[in-house]
Amino acid sequence: MTAFIRPELRAFLARWSEVLTGLCIAAFGLWALQARDSFFQLLAVLVVLAGLGLALIGWRRLRFRRTGAAPGVVQLVEGQISFFGPETGGFIALRDLVELHLVAHGKVWLLVTADDTRLEIPVAATGSEALFDAFATLPGLNMPALLAALDMPDPPPTRALWLHPARQGRHLRLR
């Protein structure tokens, strides 16, 4: 069956699948609003809101994914971020993370722990889309600002995105 779908369309649908799923759920909710019973209309409104929420999250994830390929593989398993690169690599527990930076003109994540352990991960590395969910759990991180930093056409060489709330007021430590 997939032989009938052009590879370009298949890639487009795979990339936009979360957004399209949310919009389809919202469209179903709009159709269900035709019900005459107010209880079912209330349920339909909830379905529309849920679909729009899923579409919004899908849109943010879509903006987080980078096109192209960078060396290395990222894994997120039980709160531990792992990066396996051709020359570098390492592990950082998400709970130990105290600083998050976007370096190398927006091409590399720099994760720093309290004991100054550093992990650099290319934003386009295989599996790096899992970092969206990991970063979303950081207390006080402004996800729209993070997405805006990724979308900048001419990003600065280094950009601090997040500092653990317990470390507020201290200077960020970049090398």
What per-residue confidence (pLDDT) applies to 174? 54
CB 85 within 8 A of CB 70: no
Q: What is the mean pLDDT of residues 141-166?
A: 87
* Residue whose structure tokens are 């370009």: 8
Residue 104 has a pLDDT of 87
Helix runs in 38-172, H state only: 38-64, 131-136, 143-151
* Contact status, residue 109 vs residue 102, Cβ threshold 8 Å: yes
> pLDDT confidence of 87, banded at 50, 70, 90?
confident
Poorest-confidence range of 39-48, 122-131, 162-171?
A: 162-171
Cα atoms found within 13 Å of the Cα of residue 85, Cβ hemisphere only: 19
Q: Per-residue pLDDT averaged across 96-113, rounded?
A: 91
Residue 80 DSSP one-character state: E
**Section 134-159 average pLDDT:** 88
The distance in angstroms from the start CA to the end CA of the chain is 53
User: Residue 173: is its pLDDT beyond 60?
Assistant: no
